[in-house]
Amino acid sequence: MWIAYIALGIAMIGTISSTIFLLLALLGAAKFHREGRNQQFVADKLTSLPPVSVLKPVHGLEARLKENIESFFQQDYPDFEILFAADSEDDAALGVVREVCARNQQIRSRIIINGRPPWPNPPAYSFARMTEVAAHDILVTSDSDVEVAPNYLCEIVPPMLDPRVGMLTCLYRGKNAGGFWSGLDAIGMSVEMPAGVVTANLLEGMKFGLGPTIVARKDSVEKIGGYRVLGEYFSNDFVIGNLIEKAGYRVILSRHVIDHVVPPMTFRRMWERQVRWAKGTRWSRPKGHFGTGFVFAMPYGILGFLAATAIGNIWLGAALLGAAIVNRVVETLAIGWGVVRDPRARSAPWLYPLRDLLGFAVWCASYVGKRAVWRDSRYELVEGGKIVLRQTSPNGEGAK
């Protein structure tokens, strides 16, 4: 019986901590909207916008790759170029890239073949190579699995005109390309991720970046030692924001939200991808990652229901489980719809409580081992979030 009481105590602590997190996320959402209005006010006063270079590494065929790339060419922006980088000439993505470039010849574009990356982090090497030939000072780095609206550049560039701002990053919502497991992955992108980001922004400001979009100026990148310093890190988006903030610049969270396309996936592929990301976070910021274990709600609600039922207080158990469900539904509506405008968050808020359980399982799994598969290679994560290449597999899946 004492085990049930201990479990009940843990469940109540978790219920309290997840409720506190929800309140902080709601305050963070309010700050996000307030800062967004300020960004809009500044942007409306601008009479001209500077030219920018969009840097986009590609690797293999991805879901909606053509649509993703096409969206960058359809920008309502006066002057920009798009640079692409691939490790090899026979990369399957390049056929799609060349097709889209040929169809949009009014936009300057260029393809760079890197060769085998000499650094453990391939995208960091791609960004370094593209920066060498980028014509403009403002660099917009973006993953190949994101789709953007025509006003994307118009909204993310203006804050970079302030010399005190060294970097800007964007929230994103998951866009499911098909399948139940992909849908769970996508709703996590639309709720769990932005909830954590707006809370971090509320408590300490932005000290990290989000890989789908990072905007920086050449001077801020050079001040931290260039993209070379990111070459040994797994979570290069977190590290670049952290270093730029430490260098004395401000890091801004943009009001613009982009679509992060989630490909159709089996449970295994989704699980491996989630655990890989979680391991990267665990090794990059171990204290913050450990604290994440207290922001989940559903595991504590279920534990509370089972424990309270075991000691004969089913009504207390039902209250704890109900509180957990309400917590996650409110977070889904306030963040998934209210902040990132994911229509599935409004039409199917029940999906996120399931994702919350999955997220907790992923969090637990992130503490098992330190190996990860990324693109075509196997890595080992070491102290400080760095990675060591252990094995290259030519038959690897190439997943992000």
Q: In CATH, what number is assigned to the domain containing residue 158?
A: 3.90.550.10
Asked if residue 26 has pLDDT above 70, the reply is yes
Kindly state whether residues 183 and 251 are assigned to the same domain.
yes
Question: Number of structural domains, the chain?
Answer: 2
- DSSP for 140-156, written as a single string: EEE-TTEE--TTHHHHH
- CA 17/CA 230 separation, integer angstroms: 34
- CA 257/CA 262 separation, integer angstroms: 16
Kindly state whether residues 150 and 195 are assigned to the same domain.
yes
**85 assigned to some structural domain:** yes
Taking alpha carbons only, the member of 291, 296, 275 closest to residue 354 is 296
Kindly state whether residues 117 and 131 are assigned to the same domain.
yes
Segment 106-122 shows an average pLDDT of 93
Confidence of residue 395 (pLDDT cuts 50, 70, 90): very low
H or E element, residue 139: strand 138-142
State the DSSP code for 158: G
**326 assigned to some structural domain:** yes
Kindly state whether residues 338 and 250 are assigned to the same domain.
no
User: What Å distances lie between residue 27 and 31, 297, 339, CA to CA?
Assistant: 6, 18, 12
- CA 391/CA 378 separation, integer angstroms: 5
> What tens digit of pLDDT does each residue of 153-179 get?
999 999 999 999 999 999 999 999 989
Segment 313-330 shows an average pLDDT of 97
**99 assigned to some structural domain:** yes
Tokens of 262: 């989630």
**14 assigned to some structural domain:** yes
- CA 122/CA 195 separation, integer angstroms: 29
> What tens digit of pLDDT does each residue of 357-382 get?
999 999 999 998 877 766 666 777 77
> Of 246, 263, 280, which one is at a domain's C-terminal end?
263
Kindly state whether residues 104 and 68 are assigned to the same domain.
yes
CA Rg, the chain, in Å? 22
Confidence of residue 396 (pLDDT cuts 50, 70, 90): very low
Tokens of 41: 């006010």
Q: What is the mean pLDDT of the chain?
A: 93
* One-letter amino acid for residue 228 of the chain: R
> What tens digit of pLDDT does each residue of 253-271 get?
999 999 999 999 999 999 9
Residue 266 φ/ψ, nearest 5 degrees: -80, 170
**38 assigned to some structural domain:** yes
Least confident piece of the model among 20-29, 92-101, 230-239, 319-328: 230-239
- CA 374/CA 120 separation, integer angstroms: 10
Kindly state whether residues 185 and 209 are assigned to the same domain.
yes
The pLDDT of residue 282 is: 87
Kindly state whether residues 134 and 210 are assigned to the same domain.
yes
**391 assigned to some structural domain:** no
**Percent of the chain beyond pLDDT 70?**
96
Segment 293-314 shows an average pLDDT of 96
- CA 40/CA 368 separation, integer angstroms: 44
Which long-range contacts link 375-379 to residues 24+ away (Cβ below 8 Å)? 375/59, 375/122, 375/399, 375/400, 379/120, 379/234
- CA 371/CA 383 separation, integer angstroms: 13
- CA 242/CA 238 separation, integer angstroms: 6
Kindly state whether residues 187 and 313 are assigned to the same domain.
no
Least confident piece of the model among 43-52, 236-245, 364-373: 364-373
Query: Starting at the edge strand that comes first in sequence, how are the strands of the sheet with 371-374 ordered?
Result: 371-374, 377-381, 387-392
Tokens of 199: 């809370």
Report the 10 Å Cβ neighbour count for 290.
12
**377 assigned to some structural domain:** no
**195 assigned to some structural domain:** yes
Segment 15-24 shows an average pLDDT of 98
Sequence length of the chain is: 400
Kindly state whether residues 128 and 193 are assigned to the same domain.
yes
Kindly state whether residues 218 and 342 are assigned to the same domain.
no
Q: Which range marks the domain in which residue 47 is found?
A: 27-263
> Of 263, 280, 302, which one is at a domain's C-terminal end?
263
Q: Do 174 and 91 touch, CB atoms closer than 8 A?
A: no
Taking alpha carbons only, the member of 109, 103, 108, 106 closest to residue 58 is 109
The pLDDT of residue 375 is: 61
Asked if residue 107 has pLDDT above 90, the reply is yes
Enumerate the β-bridge partners of residue 215: 140, 168
Segment 273-287 shows an average pLDDT of 87
Which three-class secondary structure string do you get for 186-238? Answer: HHHHHCHHHHHHHHHHHHHCCCCCECCEEEEEHHHHHHCCCHHHHCCECCHHH
Kindly state whether residues 343 and 241 are assigned to the same domain.
no
Kindly state whether residues 312 and 164 are assigned to the same domain.
no
The pLDDT of residue 392 is: 59
What is the pairing mode between strands 371-374 and 213-217? unpaired
Which three-class secondary structure string do you get for 280-311? Answer: HHHHHCHHHHHHHCCCCCHHHHHHHHHHHHHC
